[in-house]
Structure formats: C-alpha cells, structure tokens
Amino acid sequence: MKPAFAAVVIDVDSTLCGVEGIDFLAARRGGDVGSRIAALTDRAMRGEAMLESVYGERLTIVRPTEADIAALADEYRETVAPGAPNAIAAMRAAGVHLILISGGVRQAIAPLARALGFTDRDLFAVSLTFDSAGRYVSFDKSSPLATQSGKPEVVTRLLAEGRLTRPLLAVGDGATDVPLRGIADTFAAFTGFARRQRVVENADVELASFAELEQVVIGTRS
C-alpha cells in the first residue's frame, strides 16, 4: 500500500519526547527559575507570546552549561513517546521521508535523532555556543527556529529545494507548529503529552500516539 504522505515533519518537545527542553534545564537551577521559565514557555506554546520575545530571555535566565545539555540529551532519550521508534522505522521502511524540526537545542536532540536513524541533514534545531569551560555564551540568532514563524520558513525552503516532497504531513503540539498548516498538506495536533485547545482547533486531525500517526501515514501493517 502506498503511504498517504511522502514526507512527515515531526516536532520534538512534547511530541517526539515528553519533555520541554528549556523547562528541564530551568528546573536544574532550583529556586523559582523553573516556574518562571515554565510560565514563559507555556505562554509561547499557547500562542499568548511570540517565541522570539521569550527565546533569548529564557536562555539568559537559565544559562545552561554543556553538562546540562548532556543531561537533557539523556532526558530526551528516556522520555521518547511510546511506540515512536517502531513507528518511525515503519514509516521510513515504507519510503516516507521524515525530518525533525524543533526550537529546542540541537546538541541535546542530536543523540536521540541519530539513534532513531535521522541524519544530521534531517534535524533542524537551534545550536548553542559555549566557552572553553562549557559555560553558555549564546544561541544561533540567525536560526529562524528561534522565532514564531521559523518552522514554516524552514519547511518552505526545504520544499523549494526539493528536500521535502508532497503530500506532506506536519505533526506538533504547540503554537509554533500551527503555522505549518498553511504549508503542509495536512497538520496534525499531537496530544500524547499536552493537549492545547488552540492547537487542536487549528489542526486537520488530532493524534494521541505514534501508533495513530503510523496508521494515518502508512495504514495498518500486515
């Protein structure tokens, strides 16, 4: 059976994995840092604040070290969505092109991405820079993924370059994923970890698991 989609764009935080990376990093700081950052993240994911208005602020408050990023990489691996590895392997075996696209930290996501068979060219996230002691310096301010409109910008470019083909499915849980509805042929709200009503209302379909995603993309396996 031919897959329903030639390509699938998948969000990472609270979609592929059950963690919001910046919130995890903030919680390691103790005090009220965790609650302050979680509130900023929630506002952005609900669409109540533009991502670019909080992205740099959150990192400046948290100032994650390279050791923190390594811990986050472990957390991504430990919180991967149930059934995601098998679903990803099945979709890829059926000839579907998969990419990961995230406003999260590239260095933290990359180990899991590689373990799931994604090449570095199929992972789009925001890189951080550190000094020689492993202390936070800055983030890649040229990355569109640190902005509210970043994901559609990246996907539009990939389509124009022929690195993504249609029909295209985009999957995500937050307000930064919703604009993909105008770029992808179908936008799916992923609610396996967080159900944000505004996102669901703007989606073509709601998916609660990677088993459901696999079913939508390639149908029931024999």
The catalytic site residues sit at 11, 13
Residue 160, φ and ψ in degrees, nearest 5: -65, -35
Chain Cα centroid distance, residue 101: 5
DSSP assignments along 19-63, one per residue:
--HHHHHHHTT-TTHHHHHHHHHHHHHTTSS-HHHHHHHHHHHH-
Number of helical H runs and strand E runs in the chain: 9, 8
For residues 81 and 92, what is the distance between their CA atoms, to the nearest angstrom?
17
Cis peptide before 167 (omega within 30 of 0): yes
Any residues with CB less than 8 A from the CB of 131 and at least 6 apart, and which? 137
DSSP 3-state of 195: coil
Q: If DSSP codes are grouped into helix, strand and coil, which group holds residue 172?
A: strand
